[in-house]
Amino acid sequence: MTNLMACPNCDTLHRRTVLPPRETARCVRCHSVLYRSPDLRLSRVLALTLTCLIVFAIANAFPIVEIEVQGIYTETTLVGAAWALYREGMWLVALLVFATTVLFPLSQLLALIHLITPLALGRRPYAVFHVMRAIEFCRPWGMIEVFMLGVLVSLVKLSAMASVLPGIALWAFGALTMLLATVLSYDLRNLWIVIDRTPDPAVQALQAAKRNAAANGLTDEPPAAPPGASTHGPGTASR
């Protein structure tokens, strides 16, 4: 049953096959994307994610734009923009801006690093299922690329009333937009393939117990156990 999968859009059952590199499997019925050929070069994904994190730090540490009106300069960072809203009592909107541009992208990057580093080393990450779920949750709420467009719109708006000097962070944001797009295009469901292959100490102990039970004449439990049964992981046997 593990090489069967259901289309997330129309629930049609498919048999998962091995795809040639850079190819996409589509649903025969509704034509939406089922899965892409897994890129299992984890160190490459890890390197990209780390680069993202560094650029992210630069983008947040330096001012995005500086404006000058009659000799008076003001500048703002990303957090500064959220803070300005907060000071005005718009804490809800401030929270929204902070969450979509800092909190969610950052937690997504950190969660990816948390997952991929041990997996690249052949170990199972801590709390792997919770972290996978957290990444899925964060994904639609990270809006760095929308923010980038917002910066450009405000630049034009401001240029009517002041002289605008783009800051270091503006270029960092530009780079970050492209890097994040590359990192996030990685199909996370492929990680399950790696996770399934990576032994979990708890599951290994369970399987050793099962092997003992089988040796004593009891039947080995198939991987397709009914849900709710007390099997905790996929185990290596399910591949």
Which of 58, 158, 175, 194 lies at the binding interface for other proteins (CB under 8 A)?
A: 158
Residues 6+ apart with CB under 8 A from 86: 94
Q: Which tokens belong to 135? A: 């990444």
Cβ proximity to other proteins: between 6 and 208 the closer is 6
Strand order in the sheet with 163-166: 72-76, 65-69, 163-166
Cα separation values, 85 from 43, 49, 216, 234, Å = 40, 30, 68, 47
- Give the whole-angstrom CA distance, residue 194 versus residue 199: 10
| Interaction mask 13-32, other proteins, x per CB under 8 A | x--------------xxxxx
Cross-strand bridge partners of residue 66: 75, 165
Identify the residue among 75, 166, 174, 210 touching other proteins (CB under 8 A): 75
> Which of 26, 44, 123, 133 forms a contact with other proteins (CB under 8 A)?
133
- Can residue 59 be called a binding residue for other proteins (CB under 8 A)? no
Shortest separation between residue 62's beta carbon and other proteins, angstroms: 14
The residue (of 15 and 217) whose beta carbon lies closer to other proteins is: 15
CB of 47 to other proteins, least distance (A): 25
Contact region for other proteins (CB under 8 A) — 50-58, 62-70, 114-122, 173-181? Answer: 62-70
Under a CB-based contact definition with an 8 Å cutoff, are residues 86 and 99 in contact? no
Binding span for other proteins by CB under 8 A among 104-112, 131-139, 168-176, 205-213: 131-139
The residue behind tokens 């800051």 is 167
Binding mask of the shown chain, residues 100 to 129, with x at each position contacting other proteins by CB under 8 A: xx---------------------------x
Roughly what angle, to the nearest 10 degrees, separates helices 168-184 and 42-61? 150
Q: Does 194 bind other proteins (CB under 8 A)?
A: no
Let me know if 209 is exposed, middle or buried by CB neighbors in 10 A (0-12, 13-18, 19+). exposed
Smallest distance from the beta carbon of 121 to other proteins, in angstroms? 21
